Amino acid sequence: MGAVLVVLEQRDGMLKRVSLEALAAGRVVADAEGSEVHALLMGPPGVSTEALGRHGADKVLAAATPDLALYQPDAFATIAANQVSTGNYDIIVLGATAMGRDLAPRIAAKLGAPLAPDVTSLTANDELVVTRPVYSGKAVFTLRVVKRPCVISVRPNVFSPTDAAKPGAVEGISADGVVAARATTVKVKEPEKAVLDVAEASIVVSGGRGLKGPENFHLIEELAEVLGGAPGASRAVVDAGWRPHSEQVGQTGKTVSPSLYVAVGISGAIQHLAGMRTSKVIVAINKDKDAPIFKLADYGIVGDLFEIVPRLIAELQKIRGN
């Protein structure tokens, strides 16, 4: 049986949480097949690997050089593919983040291996079966992954880091020669007119399940824009894949306390309430007058958001126009 190679992700020298989640997914396969999990860290020197053993890494392979501080598509794919070719690996696991979505197909292509992207569940009894939501979560693919080696990327915030104490001994690997590849990342530039981060915005407009589908979220974005705020989302719609996790407000997403919080079509799960209760002024729009969000709201509109929000946008645009 070949081992499992988990490709870690770091930013500014800190491991991202998704790395531990990918380790947990890798652990499931390794435990089922009686093999090992090796964690591949590509980054600058000095990234702390202390947590990896606790969370299921039998061994840590570290390619640590300042040249790998930023994500280098060519170099990362080459290092990972080389490691798979020289070692004995059956499964490669990554987080389906912005980096993982780019890197996973590159590794798969270099190895001529199958790719199962954006996986939300995984079982490894006898055979490897994974699921992935498609069409904004309206349907679920179940994939049986037969060929080895294969590449899997796991959706962030789905797998929980596992408490499995393993040696986690660090072994350096060489990255010589691979960084000066055909193209390198020189700099990561923040977008100038970035959409405000929900955790930092002084005005947040959040949408929930009451919007009925991701196609209606333009209402939230437009209302946020006309108010000069950031769009947010409830956990239910993030779980459903309508919105990215970066927009989730709530105890497990981002705790916010803006000066104005507008909750649209959000009934108010206790986690959500816990994540936004310190907002200064809370406005709720919901068709269910008994929704818990109204207990916290300073202003509440009971009604159909598809009527109310467009009118609100139009009125606000008029005011801004003047």
Contact residues for other proteins, defined by CB under 8 A: 160, 209, 235, 251-252, 267, 269-271, 273-274, 277, 288, 290-292, 295
Identify which of residues 111 and 238 has a Cβ nearer to other proteins in the complex.
238
Identify which of residues 87 and 292 has a Cβ nearer to other proteins in the complex.
292
157, 154, 136, 101: which is closest to 241 by C-alpha? 136
The DSSP-derived string for 94-157 is EE-SHHHHHHHHHHHHHHT--EEEEESEEE-SSSEEEEEEETTTTEEEEEEE-SSSEEEEE-TT
Identify which of residues 65 and 251 has a Cβ nearer to other proteins in the complex.
251
Instruction: Tell the smallest beta-carbon distance from residue 273 to other proteins (Å).
Output: 6
- Asked if 118 and 153 touch (Cβ cutoff 8 Å), the reply is yes
Residue 208, CA distances (Å) to 141, 172, 268, 293 in order: 25, 47, 9, 12
Backbone angles phi, psi at 302, to 5 degrees: -90, 115
Instruction: Tell the smallest beta-carbon distance from residue 234 to other proteins (Å).
Output: 11
Identify which of residues 65 and 271 has a Cβ nearer to other proteins in the complex.
271
Instruction: Locate 173 and state its tokens.
Output: 């690997």
78, 88, 91: which is closest to 151 by C-alpha? 91
Identify which of residues 57 and 273 has a Cβ nearer to other proteins in the complex.
273
Identify which of residues 229 and 300 has a Cβ nearer to other proteins in the complex.
300
Identify which of residues 43 and 275 has a Cβ nearer to other proteins in the complex.
275
**d(Cα 198, Cα 250) in Å, to the nearest integer?**
11
**d(Cα 104, Cα 106) in Å, to the nearest integer?**
5
Instruction: Tell the smallest beta-carbon distance from residue 265 to other proteins (Å).
Output: 11
Local structure of residue 24 (DSSP, 8 states): H
Instruction: Tell the smallest beta-carbon distance from residue 132 to other proteins (Å).
Output: 20
Burial 288-304 (b: 16+ CB within 10 A, else e): eeebbbbebbeebbeee
Instruction: Tell the smallest beta-carbon distance from residue 319 to other proteins (Å).
Output: 32
**d(Cα 19, Cα 22) in Å, to the nearest integer?**
5
Instruction: Tell the smallest beta-carbon distance from residue 94 to other proteins (Å).
Output: 21
Identify which of residues 176 and 290 has a Cβ nearer to other proteins in the complex.
290
- Cα dihedral 223, 227, 230, 234 sign: negative
